[in-house]
Amino acid sequence: MSDDVKEVLCVRCPKGCRLKLLLGEEVAVKGHECRLGEEYGKKEATDPERVVPSTVKIMDARWPRLPVRSERAVPLVKVEEVIEELRGLEVEAPVKKGDVIVENVAETSVDMIAERDMEREA
């Protein structure tokens, strides 16, 4: 495959069409079956984003790690910085699903939120 062709899987619906992105001044998308796929392909080619799932250490809870995720997708180039910012972070139980764990993570204007409740345990 040449450098100016990229293949990605469309994740906008469970069908999972294989998209071929022809990169140039204008991005052309092939293999999509609907408008959402074309939009997804263009975004992947020009400004890809990802929701970031991770875990952080939690104190005084039943489990040692709390699952968290970014509330929205962040730019793909920022994902490593987001993970780095979470490294070594400790939170205290109790936590409710949806609580903000880190505001404006890695200066993305996106918050990291708790994925589940975690009660305090003595």
Q: Pairing relation of β-strands 5-9 and 90-92?
A: unpaired
E strands present in the chain:
5-9, 18-22, 28-30, 49-50, 53-59, 65-70, 74-75, 90-92, 100-102, 112-114
Question: Using only C-alpha atoms, what is the Rg of the chain?
Answer: 18
Task: Summarize as ranges the residues that interact with ligand SF4 (CB under 6 A).
Answer: 10, 12-13, 15-17, 32-34, 36-37
- Taking the least distance from each CB to ligand SF4, the nearer of 47 and 80 is 47
- Taking the least distance from each CB to ligand SF4, the nearer of 5 and 59 is 5
In whole angstroms, how close is the CB of 115 to ligand SF4 at the nearest point?
25
In whole angstroms, how close is the CB of 10 to ligand SF4 at the nearest point?
3
Please identify the residue of the shown chain whose CB is closest to the bound ligand SF4: 37
Residue 106 CB burial class (10 angstroms; 0-12, 13-18, ≥19): buried
Alpha carbon distance 110, 112 (integer Å): 7
- Taking the least distance from each CB to ligand SF4, the nearer of 32 and 78 is 32
In whole angstroms, how close is the CB of 27 to ligand SF4 at the nearest point?
15
In whole angstroms, how close is the CB of 20 to ligand SF4 at the nearest point?
12
